[in-house]
Amino acid sequence: MGFLDGLLNAFLKATDPRPRYTEARCLLYKNSVGGCDKCYGVCPKGAVRLEGWRVELDEVLCTGCGLCTGVCPGIALEYPLGAIQEALIRGKGKLRCSKAEGKGEEVLCLGRLTPGLLAEAGSRFGKVVLARGDCEACRIGGPEVPERLARMAEEARRYFPVEVEVVEGELPGERVGRRELFQALLGSAKRTAADLVPELPLPALEEEREGELPAELRLRRLAASRAPEVRWPRIRVEEGCTLCPVCTNVCPTEAVRRVREGEEYVLYLQVAACTGCGACVESCPPQVIRLEEAPKEEVGQELELFRGKPPWYDL
C-alpha cells in the first residue's frame, strides 16, 4: 500500500495546478494591519478565496498561471522553482510559455517567473529573453501577464541588473521542425517529473543551512552575491520603539526577532530574509518603522535594529 499511496500522491500532485500555500507566511493569517488581498485581486480566474484569515485555492478554477505567487509579499504562495531555474539555465536565459510557437525551453505560463528566477538567470547570462503567446486569448494566464512580467523584472533588478526582453511569438533564433517537436514533447514529460521534486537545487551558500530561507529568497541572495551592487529591502527602527512583539509577530519570513539580554530587549533583522512586504511598517503601534534599502555588504548580516529597556518592563 505504501508504494501505491506514493504513486497516487505523485499523480495528484502532478495534476494539481495550485501553488503551495504556507499560511505561516501569509499576511492575512498573520493579522497584519490592513491585511492583504493581492492574490485575490490578481487571479484572472476567480480561483482565490479569502476565508477564515487564510487563502483557499479552488483546484477546478485554478489554471496554474502563477500570477498569485508573483504578487504575494510574504512568499506564502509558491511553486517548486528548481525546474524553471534549470530550464532557464539549459536555455541560456531564453524561455517560452506553453502557448508560444517554436522550440526552446518551456514553462506553462510566464506568470510563474519570480524576481529571484529572473535575477539569478540574469546573473548567469546578463540578458533574459522570454517568448509569450497571445495573452489576450490565453485561457491559462490572460492579458495581465505582460504587465506583471514587467513588474517582476523591475523587482528583479533590485538584486541584479538584469535585462529582460519579452517577445510575442517564437524565441529569437529558435525554429521548430519534426525533430525539435519530438524533443519538446519529451522535454514536457521530463518537466512534469521534475515538478514532483519540491526542493530547489541551489548551491549552498556560506553560513546558510539548507532550507533556512524560502527558495525565492535563496535565488535572490544568489543573484545578489554576483551583483556589483544591490538594493535589498530592509527596515529601520527609529526612536520611540516600545519593544513590543508586534513586528516579530507579523513578519512572514521571521526576518525580525526580539531577544532579551539582561534587562534590555533587542530587535534584530536578518536582512536576507526581508521581502520588503511592509507588514511591520503598517502594524507598528507607535509607527516608528521605516522601509529602506540595504547595500550588498549588509545582505548576509543580522543587524541590530533597536535596543533598550521597554517602558512596560516594570509593570
245 pLDDT above the threshold of 70: yes
Domain count of the fold of the chain: 2
Given 148, 174, 194, which residue is the final one in a domain?
Answer: 194
> Does residue 6 belong to any structural domain of this protein?
no
> Does residue 16 belong to any structural domain of this protein?
no
Q: What is the mean pLDDT of residues 46-60?
A: 94
pLDDT tens readout for residues 55-100: 999 999 999 999 999 999 999 999 999 999 999 999 999 999 999 9
200 pLDDT above the threshold of 90: no
pLDDT tens readout for residues 296-307: 999 999 999 999
Q: Are residues 190 and 235 in the same domain?
A: no
pLDDT tens readout for residues 154-169: 999 999 999 999 999 9
Q: Are residues 175 and 92 in the same domain?
A: yes
In which band, very low, low, confident or very high, does the pLDDT at 8 lie, cut at 50, 70 and 90?
A: very low
| pLDDT given for residue 179 in this prediction | 53
Q: Are residues 246 and 173 in the same domain?
A: no
| pLDDT given for residue 211 in this prediction | 46
Work out the percent of the chain whose per-residue pLDDT is above 90. 76
In which band, very low, low, confident or very high, does the pLDDT at 188 lie, cut at 50, 70 and 90?
A: low
139: helix, strand or coil: coil
CB 311 within 8 A of CB 242: yes
> Does residue 174 belong to any structural domain of this protein?
yes
pTM of the model: 0.84
Q: Are residues 85 and 172 in the same domain?
A: yes
Q: Are residues 157 and 249 in the same domain?
A: no
Task: State the residue range of the domain holding 249.
Answer: 231-308
Kindly give the interhelix angle for 115-125 and 145-156, rounded to the nearest 10 degrees: 60
Q: Are residues 240 and 286 in the same domain?
A: yes
CB 109 within 8 A of CB 147: no
Q: Are residues 186 and 95 in the same domain?
A: yes
DSSP lists the bridge partners of residue 237 as 289
